[in-house]
Amino acid sequence: MGKTADLTVVQKTTIDTLHKEGKKQKGQFARTVPPRAVTNCALHLFHGIPIRFQRSEDMAGVFAYESSEVDWCEDNYRHSDNVVEYFNTMSSFIFFLISPIMLYLLHPYARERNLAVHLVWLMMVFVGLFSMYFHMTLSFMGQMLDELSILWVLALGYSLWFPRKHFPSFIKDRKSFSRMVLAVTLVTTLSSFVKPTANAYVLNCFALHILYSLCVEMRSCTDQRVLRLAKMSVGLWALAISCWISDRFGCSFWQKLNFCYLHGIWHILIVVATAYGSTLIAYLDASFEIPYSLPGLQYWPKDDWVLGLPYIVLKGTTKTRKGC
């Protein structure tokens, strides 16, 4: 069978009908299988007339619009015929704004500690890209790329920053710990195809574990700047996850209010929470692993801004560092 064997030109009215037929129950994970003609098509514009290239191979189905079992609360195709969830897609742009700034701000710390730190925010650019692709298409491939990229950023974060004192007893050093994280991540990546609807919940469990580890670390901390950063990180995460849960489970309520944008707001809040949380974790790591560099916390663009981006300054001079 040819890849684009069936090229079907469909009038706009027919497309709209197909969209409606193919639309799933909003805010639900359960799949209501849309007609094949709808799911296995990619929508294009040809001389202003929408046309659909129907794909014959099953593999191509994973790229098909709305082939994911997940459909967020925002109305599909409300603002564009090519973008399924417009606001959710556009809000993912925040990844491209915050990531380069964080890359720049964390450079002095990364140079001193490990240049691999830069990979975190480099990979966040891909998380943003995949998130845009997912919400633009609601395709199964988009969902897997979105979720697996988050999993690999988390894995990198654990390898770089998980406190040595909490390593399992059979782990000798950070290198062996990273190998263990890599093995767990590979197994999790493969298992994520078994029940894709469970992936997002597994990822949120990692977030809970990070939160728990932070609370343990903070119990003995008296530094007001560090405590403030911890409170802000947890507060932003709590706001973000409330939006995610509310969009997932409270969609009918938000539809009545005609406000279906909570998932987009989650994107914005979780990126800022990650900037705050990861800087806090990196600061705790620096205090333990490179104490001679005298790490401190500051905010960009101005230190007294309530919602500035946090970063690590190293107050130890090169001389001091060499001496230690």
Farthest-apart Cα atoms in the chain, separation: 75
For ligand L2Y2AEV6, the binding residues in 192-221 under the rule CB under 6 A are 200, 203-204, 206-207, 210-211, 214
Q: Which does 110 bind (CB under 5 to 8 A by kind): ligand L2Y2AEV6, Zn ion, Ca ion, none?
A: none
Tell me which residue of 297, 293, 296 sits closest to 319, measured CA to CA.
293
Q: Facing residues of 297 across strands?
A: 312
- 85 in a known ligand binding site: yes
Compute and round to an integer the Cα radius of gyration of the chain: 23
Q: Measured in Å, how far apart are the chain's first and last C-alpha atoms?
A: 69
Closer CB to Zn ion, 6 or 75, in the complex: 75
- Alpha carbons 159 and 147: distance in angstroms, whole number: 19
DSSP for 5-70, please give it: -EEEE--HHHHHHHHHHHPPPTT--S--PPPHHHHTEEEEEETTEEEEEE--SSGGGGGSTT-SS-
Site string for Zn ion, 83-122 (x = CB under 5 A): ----------------------------------------
Site string for Ca ion, 78-97 (x = CB under 5 A): --------------------
Residue sitting closest to Zn ion (CB)? 131
According to the binding rule CB under 6 A, does residue 284 interact with ligand L2Y2AEV6? no
Backbone angles phi, psi at 260, to 5 degrees: -110, 40
For Zn ion, the binding residues in 217-256 under the rule CB under 5 A are none
Q: Which two tokens stand for residue 21?
A: 């037929």
- 263 in a known ligand binding site: yes
For Zn ion, the binding residues in 121-140 under the rule CB under 5 A are 131
CB 131 to Zn ion: min, Å: 5
Q: Which two tokens stand for residue 239?
A: 């706001």
Tell me which residue of 150, 272, 136 sits closest to 203, measured CA to CA.
150
DSSP state, residue 71? -
CB 177 to Zn ion: min, Å: 30
Closer CB to Ca ion, 96 or 261, in the complex: 261
Cβ contact 277:214 at 8 Å: yes
Residues near ligand L2Y2AEV6 (CB under 6 A) are 127, 131, 134, 146, 150, 153-154, 157-158, 161-162, 200, 203-204, 206-207, 210-211, 214, 233-234, 237, 267, 270, 273-274, 277-278, 281
- Residues comprising the binding site for Zn(2+)? 135, 263, 267
- Residues comprising the binding site for Ca(2+)? 71-72, 74, 76, 85
